[in-house]
């Protein structure tokens, strides 16, 4: 299995380091973005390329609304990527073009594997 790419949305240096380390241990390539606009630009610039993200992990909810506001624009650009949001409770949403999962931190790797295989 080839190494898959994860886009991690987080502005906390402490959380991003531990989350990135956990994902890298599980053999994922991890790119980090710190704003909704940066995530949007990263996803659009790599759409339909070999470096596109298999999954967007949202680990920062203080800024996640800025990213969620950009989702309609991502769809207009033809970018559909599953999203995993790390929260206390677990909820799953399925849309026409993408899947959105809210998961607890202890379930992160299991959900990442489920969404990238």
Asked if residue 103 has pLDDT above 90, the reply is: no
Question: What b-and-e string marks burial along 48-57, b requiring 16 or more CB atoms within 10 Å of the CB?
Answer: eeeebbbbbb
Please state, in angstroms and rounded to a whole number, the distance separating the CA atoms of residues 112 and 5.
Answer: 11
pTM: 0.74
Q: Give 70-83 pLDDT, tens digit per residue.
A: 778 888 888 888 88
Top-level CATH class of 4-116?
Answer: alpha beta
How much is the pLDDT for 102?
59
Phi, psi (deg, nearest 5) at residue 48: 60, 25
Q: What are phi and psi of 72, to 5 degrees?
A: -60, -35
User: Domain spans of the chain?
Assistant: 4-116
């Amino acid at each position: 299995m080839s190494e898959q790419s994860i886009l991690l949305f987080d502005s906390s240096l402490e959380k991003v380091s531990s989350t990135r380390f956990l994902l890298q241990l599980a053999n994922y390539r991890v790119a980090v973005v710190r704003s909704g606009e940066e995530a949007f630009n990263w996803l659009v610039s790599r759409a339909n390329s070999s470096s596109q993200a298999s999954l967007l992990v949202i680990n920062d909810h203080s800024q996640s609304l800025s990213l969620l506001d950009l989702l309609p624009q991502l769809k207009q650009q033809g970018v559909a990527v599953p999203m995993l949001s790390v929260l206390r409770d677990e909820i799953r949403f399925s849309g026409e073009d993408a899947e959105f999962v809210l998961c607890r931190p202890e379930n992160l790797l299991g959900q990442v594997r489920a969404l990238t295989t």
